[in-house]
Amino acid sequence: MADTDPAQPLADLVDGGTIVMLMTMIGDEHSSRPLTVAAVDGSRLEFLVDATTDWATAVRSGGVAVHASVSDTRANTYLSLQGSASMTLDAADVQRLWSPAASAFFDGPDDPALGVLRFDVDGGEYWDSPGGRIGSAIALLKAKLGDDPGAAGAHGSVTAT
């Protein structure tokens, strides 16, 4: 993969339904959990979460280090994102993000445990490769035989717009 690929907007790399591993560091303790992206708005990812969990309560109180990773095998796109997190319990925001898929995890948009986690991306990196196992294998072979590392995929920074 070439090191000089152009920056890509976050919205071109992540969409609603993408699964993100969100890591929090509370004190000296790291923990991670998979979250489904409910919306992407510029440099912000939004998630519906159980706001009563210990980690969500810590985010709401501030001062928690947060990191997000994506391994999207559907698109062969991988991201490492830095940023800051905040939480809102605003019912209008919950309603705006509610989807039928959310009902697998929550009792409904009026569930009192529901909150919206906002992850504002400050920066990050992406790696992108051709689709599917066969496509990836062919691209790697072409990169090796053609002495063209760029044939194996792209690597660059993530931008907010």
Q: 27-56, pLDDT tens digit by residue? A: 888 999 999 999 999 999 999 999 999 999
Burial class (CB in 10 A: 0-12, 13-18, 19+), 92: exposed
Q: Structure pTM?
A: 0.81
Looking at residue 140, its pLDDT comes to 44
> How far apart, in whole angstroms, are the C-alpha atoms of residue 138 and residue 122?
34
Q: 76-134, pLDDT tens digit by residue? A: 889 999 999 999 999 999 999 999 999 999 999 999 999 999 999 999 999 987 654 54
CB atoms within 10 A of CB 96: 13
